[in-house]
Every structure is written in structure tokens, then in C-alpha cells.
Structure 1
Amino acid sequence: MFDNTFETHQTIGAETFSQKLSVISTFNGIGALSHALRLLSINTFKIICEIDKRANQTYYENNEFVPENHINDINELYENIEEGFQCDILVQTPPCQSFSIQGIREEFESENGNLFLTAINLQKKVNASIVIYENVKGLISHDKQSGLHTSLINSDYKNTIGHTLHTIELLLLEDNRYTYYWKTINACDQGFPQNRERIFIIGILKELDTGFSFPENIDLEFTVADILENEVDESFYYNNVANHLLVPVNQARRENRIHTYGKYEGMTFQSTSRVHYPYVAPCINTNNYAKFLVDGRVRTMTQEEAKKVHGFSEEFKFVGPKTVQNKQLGNTVSPGVYVRLLKSIFNALEVPNHTVANNIATNENKKIA
């Protein structure tokens, strides 16, 4: 599905990626970044940080890994990693659900807020060539009641971002080794049929950055209908079929009926309880509640179908019961989006002698202190 044009980029050279890139992945989850790098045929030497046991089980099922390079708690990782530890990529996806920030440093009061602060402090402690943060789109507007700000990184946002993101920008810009970029990316704009909007913050060492641009939007590579399974267990179906009627917006809403929402194939429908044509999926959540009309019946996607919508390969295996798999599918970053983002990053790099190749050699046999 994906071309590898970056492998022949003159300033990187395909030979660089025949070696192992060193990666630190905090809040690693099931390893979406590792999977994306593998889809690009890039080997990695990894340090991961993830506290969720079930997510770790899925990660171990799909990756060769040295147990000594796994730490549960990011605070422990921060305390024990060597100052100046070199890595090629530092990827961090700290939770942001309960931020409540009034100041620049002292007001990271919530548990999740402290995790984001720790992530930024970890960045400042290591020497990474590339840093990547991912979070929900709501980060942009979070804590607007404390004041609206003009973004210091994204010039498209003038007096529109909330205090939380403003604080994060200030903290990141203290680490002036990097050129920073951020943007919201929707998976359906990157070829994958899911309405999943996430903010990505990218930092590239200034001496490496030849001018990064986020990947351009492209048409869908496939639709949900293209990956639906033919034989699906009855547990995925809703039995009250009569309550799942397709009612166009120009018709009266009907009591006790679930109406569809969206505009596909020239027809427009609306509802707060939504049944979707299998075209573009709503954002996959941890409960797998999204309903689709398939061959006249309403059902949810299977875990295998949701996996493909995210851009995971056929070989990727989830561990645990369906409820656990749904949680992992709802929490993961889409590896298909990561693939396109990584290609854009790699194509923007200039690699002088002291960076990527030397980082690989330095960290090949290095463990956390």
C-alpha cells in the first residue's frame, strides 16, 4: 500500500535504515510506532515505557524485545536514564484528559498533567534527533476559560488556542535545539476510512531540518465496506433491526427510531444515535459502539476490521478478550497515519556525521542505568 520513496532520499540514504534506529517510546501502548517503522522495513532498538499489562502483552506478541529495556513508569525512566542519552526518535503520547493549568510550571496539578510535564522534562534530558507527541484534538482548545492565545508554533492559530497548549508550547520552546511544528491530522485524510482527528507535535533538531511539511491529504485507499468480513459472529449484530431505520433529513424524524448520520453516496442522514453506511468509520473508541448497516442488518465492526481501518497489517495480533482488544484499538495511534508522518519527517532530514548513524552505534548495546 505504501511506497518507500524516502529510502532513496539523497541526504539520508537507504543504507542508514538498513541499520537499527534507536527509539524511546513512552506511553507505548501496543506499539503503533514500532509497527509503523516495521511497515517501512526499518529495524529499531527500543526502550519502551508502558504501565498497562494487557497492552504490554500485545506489544510483546508482535515485537522482539529485551525485557531490560522496558520500564513501567515514566517517572522511573526519567530518574534512571543517563543525561544526554542519544536516540534517533523520542515518541510520547501522554494522557491529557484532566489538565487544569493556571501557570506555566507550578500548576500541572492533575496526575495526567504531571505526566505531560514529565514527558517534556524527559525530552530535555535526552539527545533525540526527532521528537513526536500525539494527543486528542481537544488539546488545542483545552482550558480556554483561562485565556485565549496565539500559537507560538502554528501560525494558523491566532488567539484561538487554550491555556493548556500554550503552556506546552512554552515548555517545549525552552528546549531550543529543535524546530517545532504541530497540526491536527485526520486519519481519513491520510487514506484510512476513520474520522480520527489527532494533534501531532513534531520537533526536529535544527541542524537536521531541511524544511519539514506535514503529509498532504490524499484520497481514501479503501472504505470500510472493502474490508468487511463475510462471516461474522452473531454477537456483533443488533437484534432490534426495526429500530434502525434510515431516515433522510428531508423526512420527519420518527419516534423510537435510530436515524443515520452522514452523507454517503449522495444521501444525507442525521441523528444523535447513529447508524453508518460502511464507508468512513467514526472515531474508533474503547467500547466499539459504532453501528454500521451491512447487508440490511446493523452491527459493529469486528476487531480484525477495526485493525485494518487503523492501518495495522494482517500479521498484527491482539492479545486478550474482545473488551481488552476494543480498549487497545480505541487508545492506539493509527500506524497507517504514523507511516505517512514518518515518511514526511525522514524526507526533511539532513544527516551530518554526528547524528543518526552515530546514535545507532552509541546505543546499540546500551541499557538504562
Structure 2
Amino acid sequence: MNKNHLKFIDKINTTKFKKLKVKMKSEIKIGTDCSGIEAPIQALELLNIPYKHIFSCDNDKHVIKNIEGNYKPEILYDDIFNRDYDNMPYVDGYIAGFPCQNFSTLGKMKGFEEKNGTIFFCCYKTIKVIEPKFFILENVKALVTHNKGKTFESILHELHKLEKYNIYWKVFNTCEYGVPQKRERVYIIGIKKEYDKNFVYPKPIKLEVFVNDIITTDPVDNKFGYLTEHKSKLLNELVDNNKIDNLDKHWSVNLNVSHQKMCYPKLDICPCLLAGNGGDCIFYLTSIKRRYTPREYLNLQGFSLEFKQCVSNSKMYKQVGNSMSVNVLCFIYKSIFESLYYN
């Protein structure tokens, strides 16, 4: 099996960070919401950080199959809205990739205490009740500019009102942290002031792994190479219009569209993986003349080879497209742990 997509770990495991991990003798208690395929847990495992998986939460039965097949949370919630918040267990770290719902009316409200219908409110309430040492919230880049920036300002305002946390945020691009996928997501990081010694954003690294490096070495079914007449026509039009110079090069392209102008090919890196309906949004790699497999999609999100696919291919594609990037979380974790544990 190909491990090239995990080379970013070498950039994290510096001598200094290895010494820090020795100090982290007790297990970190972790809880996640909108858990998906648990990129936050994957990142801890890749970093070899001792942890205790306290809870996960997801309402998709297909996601739950993958959670149960790969992880062992002590509690698995299936309803974020109707759980007993007052008796939720403590965690040191809380991570949630809350969906980008319609926040257009948020700025008119007095606060999230009145916004019971949004998942962000549930994440906010969880932080308020549990008071973890740190939290990470992830969303699409567009959240930053939604409603002329008012939505994001309101979210930050509510988090600052907690008063106990230093709040940081930044847009991270997956391909700037060692994995060849252009995926921009905003991460909001909160660290309790009493523990935050000196948080520093992780610096981007030079990309040394490209899409041809993450391709599986396992046999691949011929069905992944099948193209309809329309998709073959799109490829030819991309060449004719100089959007792709050579099909033997490593061009990742979306052929699940009506017109070649919507294909947005990328050379040597993959465009942002999409969730869609799963099987209808898979990128095609010209150099190998086929679509990426679910395992290769997992590679493009930084998942370990130990992850087991417990659902159909279409469900797997969708879940990977909805996931956080494991490599980005690894770098964020490193910065958080350096702030928490260095004297």
C-alpha cells in the first residue's frame, strides 16, 4: 500500500515535538460533533498522541457504520439537538466541523441562546457546558465572507463572550500542508487563557507529494476507467481549448458536468474533493485514465492506511468529501499542544 501521502508527518515530528510528546503522559480526552469519518481521531493516531475517545456524534447511519468499524467512542450520539447537555462528559479537546447552514438572520439576533435551530448553537452550547481546554471548529472558506462578513463576526463575537478562551482563526489550504488537494477551509481555534502559553499558527510547508504519488498500488477494477461518450467529449474539448496540454500528464478533472468550462482541471494537485451524492462527483486523473478510487480519496485527505471502508463506494466518496483534512489537523494539533505543554 502506498504511504507517500503521509510524508507530512516527517515535517511535524521534529526533535522538539518528540520531546513534548514525552511530557504528554496522560491521555487527552477528545470529543467530536458532526464527526463524519473522524479526521480529528485520525490525526491524533498519526501523531502518536495518547488519547481517550469520549464521544462522537453523527445522525447519518452510513457515517455511523464507518465510526463503529474504525473507532471506539465511549458514547456515540445520533442527535446533537436532543442530548442531555447538562450531563455530558468532560473532554480536554472538542472538535466539530459544523455544516454551513443559512446564517443570514444571525446578525439580527441577540445571541446564539435564541438560535436553537442551528448546529453551531449546539457546538457553542457544548463548549459552554464542558469547558474543554481547547476546541477546533471547521467550516467552508465562504463562511468568512457570508452576509458581508456579518455571520462570521457574530460567530466570533459569541465565542469571545465565553471570556475564558483566546480565539484564533485562519483559512488553511490542504495543499499547503503536505497533501496535494486544493481545499480551503476556515478553522476557528479556542484555547483556555489559563493554558495558552503562546499559540502560533502552523506555517505552510513546501508541497513535495503530488497526485501521482498517492495512487494506490492495489489492483483497480476496470469500471473506474469507464467514460460515457459525453465525458470523453469533454476531455477532447479540454485539449482542443488548451485547458489541458497533455493527457499523459497528471491532470485531475471533473467530468461530471455539462460543459468543459465547468471542468476546472488541475495539474499535479487535485481540486477540492466534493461530497455531492457520492458517485456523481468523482475526479478523473488523465495520466492513469480512470477516476480516483475511494482509497485514493482518503489519501487526498491524509487518512491512514488503517482506515477501513465499511460502506459502499458512493457513500465513502461522500463522507470523504465532507471530511476535514487530517494533515491540516495534525499541524493545528501540534501548534495547540506546543502552546499547552511547553513551559
- Partner letter of residue 176 of structure 2? D
Aligned counterpart, 1:235? 223
Match of residue 284, structure 1, among 256, 273, 276? 273
**How far 1:170 moved relative to its partner?**
0.9
Q: What does the per-residue CA deviation read over 1:294-337, in whole Å, with 9 as the maximum and x for residues that have no partner?
A: 24x3x321111111111111111121111110111111111111
Aligned counterpart, 1:195? 182
1:172 is aligned to 2:159 = yes
**How far 1:291 moved relative to its partner?**
2.5
Residues 168 and 190, structure 2, Cα contact 8 Å, conserved in 1 = yes
Q: How does 1:232-311 map to 2 (within 5 A)?
A: 232-237=220-225, 238-240=227-229, 241-245=232-236, 247=238, 259-260=243-244, 272-274=261-263, 276=265, 279-286=268-275, 287=278, 288-295=281-288, 297=289, 299-311=290-302
1:48 is aligned to 2:56 = yes
Residues 197 and 342, structure 2, Cα contact 8 Å, conserved in 1 = no
CA distance in 2, matches of 1:189, 1:170: 29
CA distance in 2, matches of 1:252, 1:87: 54
- Partner letter of residue 101 of structure 2? Q
1:92 is aligned to 2:96 = yes
CA distance in 2, matches of 1:171, 1:243: 47
1:65 is aligned to 2:73 = yes
**How far 1:173 moved relative to its partner?**
0.6
Aligned counterpart, 1:363? none
Other structure's SS at 2:82 match: helix
CA distance in 2, matches of 1:95, 1:185: 17
CA distance in 2, matches of 1:221, 1:197: 19
Aligned counterpart, 1:30? 37
1:142 is aligned to 2:135 = no
- Partner letter of residue 196 of structure 2? D
Other structure's SS at 2:92 match: strand
CA distance in 2, matches of 1:272, 1:107: 41
**How far 1:274 moved relative to its partner?**
2.2
- Provide closer, same or farther for how the CA distance between residues 41 and 234 of structure 1 changes in structure 2, counting only shifts above 3 A: same
**How far 1:104 moved relative to its partner?**
3.7
**How far 1:233 moved relative to its partner?**
2.0
Other structure's SS at 1:131 match: strand
**How far 1:220 moved relative to its partner?**
1.7
CA distance in 1, matches of 2:272, 2:291: 13
CA distance in 2, matches of 1:180, 1:103: 23
CA distance in 2, matches of 1:123, 1:64: 22
How many correspondences in the alignment?
Answer: 318
Q: What does the per-residue CA deviation read over 1:318-362, in whole Å, with 9 as the maximum and x for residues that have no partner?
A: 21111110111111111111111111111122479xxxxxxxxxx
CA distance in 2, matches of 1:261, 1:291: 16
Residues 282 and 317, structure 2, Cα contact 8 Å, conserved in 1 = no
Aligned counterpart, 1:320? 311
Residues 23 and 90, structure 1, Cα contact 8 Å, conserved in 2 = yes
Residues 277 and 293, structure 1, Cα contact 8 Å, conserved in 2 = no
Residues 173 and 184, structure 2, Cα contact 8 Å, conserved in 1 = yes
- Partner letter of residue 103 of structure 1? K
Other structure's SS at 2:24 match: helix
Residues 167 and 191, structure 2, Cα contact 8 Å, conserved in 1 = yes
Gaps of 5+ in 2: 1-6, 254-258
**How far 1:127 moved relative to its partner?**
2.0
- Partner letter of residue 312 of structure 2? P
**How far 1:185 moved relative to its partner?**
0.2
Runs of 4+ in 1 over 6 A off after TM superposition: 107-111
- Provide closer, same or farther for how the CA distance between residues 289 and 173 of structure 1 changes in structure 2, counting only shifts above 3 A: same
CA distance in 1, matches of 2:76, 2:35: 10
TM-score normalised to the size of structure 2?
A: 0.82
CA distance in 2, matches of 1:7, 1:207: 26
CA distance in 2, matches of 1:6, 1:124: 34
Backbone CA RMSD of aligned residues? 3.2
Residues 98 and 110, structure 1, Cα contact 8 Å, conserved in 2 = no
CA distance in 2, matches of 1:228, 1:6: 27
CA distance in 1, matches of 2:209, 2:14: 23
- Partner letter of residue 43 of structure 1? P
TM-score normalised to the size of structure 1?
A: 0.77
CA distance in 1, matches of 2:175, 2:182: 6
**How far 1:35 moved relative to its partner?**
0.9
Other structure's SS at 1:87 match: coil
Aligned counterpart, 1:367? none
**How far 1:56 moved relative to its partner?**
1.4
- Partner letter of residue 338 of structure 1? L
- Provide closer, same or farther for how the CA distance between residues 203 and 131 of structure 1 changes in structure 2, counting only shifts above 3 A: same
Gaps of 5+ in 1: 145-161, 254-258, 353-369
